[in-house]
Amino acid sequence: MWFFQWLENTSWARFADDNLKVATAFEITHYFSMFLLVGSIIVVDLRLMGLIGRRRTIGEVSAEFFPLMWIGMVLNFFSGFVMFAGDATTFAPNWVFHIKLSVICLAVIFGVIVQFQARKWGQDESTQIPAWGKGLALISLLLWVGSILAAVEVPSLTNVG
């Protein structure tokens, strides 16, 4: 726990948490980047499942959305970490927050697998997506929606955040 106490009392964490305008700016960045991140991966997942833009190849769709996904991910994790640091001792022992982080970790792992596979399948236009590939996309989609659900459950179930 000493680490979280130290983290919470660092000058930058206090500055970001105590200053209303700065805290709001990080919150806006966190939400906006989450929309970019989740929206981008959902579009690629839907394309892999064959539910969206079949006239465009998987290679094209992933080339359009993966840069957006990575920009969203970097901004989201950075802003999320700063927001966490300001209240580290409250968030660290919170069980719903643990679930949120676990779901996000799984979602990122599946997101990276989807990106790797989409590049592979996208190289050849005639490639048919196997059933397990569609299943992979469905799991990725559910995990990202689940990460939003877990995030909104933190204040709802535990009054934290």
Partner 1 sequence: MIVPSEGVVDFCNWLQNTPYALAIAGSTWAYPFVQTTHFTGLSIWLATSLVVDFRLLGWIGKSYKPSELAKSLFAWNWIGFAIAVVGGASLFSTDAVAFSRNPALQFKLLLFFPLALIVHIFVQRRTMKSWGAGDVIPRFAQLAGLMEFLLWLSVASAAANIPYFERFL
Instruction: Catalog residues that contact partner 1 under the rule CB under 8 A.
Output: 20, 24, 27-28, 31-32, 34-40, 42-43, 46, 52-53, 55-56, 60-61, 63-65, 67-68, 145, 148-149, 152-153, 156-157
| Angle between helix 58-86 and 11-18 (nearest 10) | 100
Q: How far is the CB of 55 from partner 1 (least distance, A)?
A: 6
Q: How far is the CB of 38 from partner 1 (least distance, A)?
A: 4
Q: How far is the CB of 7 from partner 1 (least distance, A)?
A: 23
Q: How far is the CB of 102 from partner 1 (least distance, A)?
A: 17
- Judged by beta carbon, residue 65 or residue 97, the one nearer partner 1 is 65
Distance CA 22, CA 132 (A): 44
- Judged by beta carbon, residue 3 or residue 35, the one nearer partner 1 is 35
- Judged by beta carbon, residue 129 or residue 145, the one nearer partner 1 is 145
CA 126 to each of CA 59, 97, 136: distance values in angstroms, whole numbers, following the listed order: 11, 43, 20
Q: Given its phi and psi angles, is residue 119 left (phi above 0), alpha (psi -120 to 50 degrees) or beta?
A: alpha
Task: Please answer whether residues 59 and 122 qualify as being in contact, where contact means their C-beta atoms are separated by less than 8 angstroms.
Answer: yes
- Judged by beta carbon, residue 92 or residue 145, the one nearer partner 1 is 145
Q: How far is the CB of 123 from partner 1 (least distance, A)?
A: 15
Torsion of the alpha carbons at 133, 66, 122 and 148, rounded to the nearest 10: 20
- Judged by beta carbon, residue 4 or residue 134, the one nearer partner 1 is 134
Residue 9 backbone phi and psi in degrees, to 5: -100, 5
CA R_g for the chain: 18
